[in-house]
Amino acid sequence: MGEDTIRGRWALVTGASSGLGADFARELGRRGANLILVARRQDRLERLAAEIEAKHRVETDVIASDLSVPDARDALLRALSDGGRAIDILIKNAGLGVHGNFLDNSWEEEREVIEVDIIALVHLTKLLLPEMVSRGFGRILQLASTAAYQPVPSYAVYGAAKAFVASFGEALNRELKGTGVTCTVVSPGVTDTEFQAVARHEYTSFMHRVQMKSPQVARIAIRAMLKRRHSVVPGPHNALGAWAARLAPRTVSTAVAGFLMQGQRGPKL
């Protein structure tokens, strides 16, 4: 299947102030898409927008928004419709995890994961999908994780949230058949971003060994989205792990994931 061209179309990237989100924006800019960059840290978004505009001669806009707040998501939609821009590409990337036993983590930490990783992701889809369908074109990419493929002790809520993202995205893609809109689920393994620092998970030697670079993961994911694939697991080692987790008895895959994701709690950012 050939890749769509997206030159001149508008793409919205959530969580563009860091890591994968910034690299999704760079990759889309390289392909000629105009960009709306969303996250809480406005200064970083502005620096990235300036970098991409200078390099690729595309238009950019920056909207600072805390996606964990329902009103902020409605305000984001209002800002988009005031700007009069049709969003053809939606990258639902903003997300976080909290490492540690559920018993030890606070409700506020776990609730933020659920609010950003699940509720904001579904809400944004609800807000932006109808227009894509009525225009007959849309490309959606949403961030799951290899954590979606089995329960993950020490990331219990995060793993469950990413299983939700994967299931929702693949079902949605099927429901959208024939509308011109597609939804691709990307499930990265450990990737070199700020994720682990935010999750307060000190890097282990296993994580160092298997981690992928964020620009490479972003390139693979955008290519899969533009080929209208329903899902992709970047990196052969991650794809193999996801496949093995599907085949293994659930108790075994859960125990292995818990073993691989153990580690020290890092300092609070």
Ligand X SMILES: NC(=O)c1ccc[n+]([C@@H]2O[C@H](COP(=O)([O-])OP(=O)(O)OC[C@H]3O[C@@H](n4cnc5c(N)ncnc54)[C@H](OP(=O)(O)O)[C@@H]3O)[C@@H](O)[C@H]2O)c1
Catalytic residue set: 158, 162
Q: Which of 5, 41, 50, 70 binds ligand X (CB under 6 A)?
A: 41
Q: Which 3 state secondary structure label does DSSP give 180? A: coil
Q: How far is the CB of 118 from ligand X (least distance, A)?
A: 11
Q: Which of 128, 157, 163, 190 binds ligand X (CB under 6 A)?
A: 190
Expressed in percent and rounded to 5, the helix, strand and coil fractions of the chain are 50, 15, 35
Contact 262, 154 (CB under 8 A): yes
Residue 18 in contact with ligand X, rule: CB under 6 A: yes
CA distance 101 to 184: 31
Q: Which of 20, 218, 222, 226 binds ligand X (CB under 6 A)?
A: 20
Compute how many residues bind ligand X; rule: CB under 6 A: 29
The sign of the CA dihedral 175, 181, 182, 183 is: negative
- In 3D space, the residue among 28, 14, 17, 20 whose CA is nearest the CA of residue 191 turns out to be 20
Q: Which residue, 149 or 195, has its beta carbon nearer to ligand X? A: 195
Q: Which residue, 5 or 213, has its beta carbon nearer to ligand X? A: 213
Residues 235-254, mask of contacts with ligand X (x by CB under 6 A): --------------------
- In 3D space, the residue among 47, 55, 46 whose CA is nearest the CA of residue 28 turns out to be 55
Residue 19 in contact with ligand X, rule: CB under 6 A: yes
Q: Which residue, 134 or 264, has its beta carbon nearer to ligand X? A: 264
Amino acid at 186: V
Q: Which residue, 7 or 78, has its beta carbon nearer to ligand X? A: 78
Residue 96 in contact with ligand X, rule: CB under 6 A: yes
Under 8 Å CB-to-CB from 209, ≥6 apart: which residues? none
Contact positions with ligand X (CB under 6 A) in 52-81? 65-68
Q: Which residue, 20 or 33, has its beta carbon nearer to ligand X? A: 20
Q: Which of 10, 149, 168, 195 binds ligand X (CB under 6 A)?
A: 195
Q: How far is the CB of 84 from ligand X (least distance, A)?
A: 23
Q: How far is the CB of 93 from ligand X (least distance, A)?
A: 5
Under 8 Å CB-to-CB from 267, ≥6 apart: which residues? 200
Contact 9, 87 (CB under 8 A): no
Residue 109, number of CB atoms within 10 A of its CB: 18
> Residue 34: in which H helix or E strand, if any?
strand 34-39
Instruction: Please report where in the chains the tokens 């000190």 appear, as a residue.
Output: 202
Residues of this chain that bind ligand X (CB under 6 A): 15-21, 39-41, 65-68, 93-97, 116, 143, 145, 188, 190-191, 193-195, 198
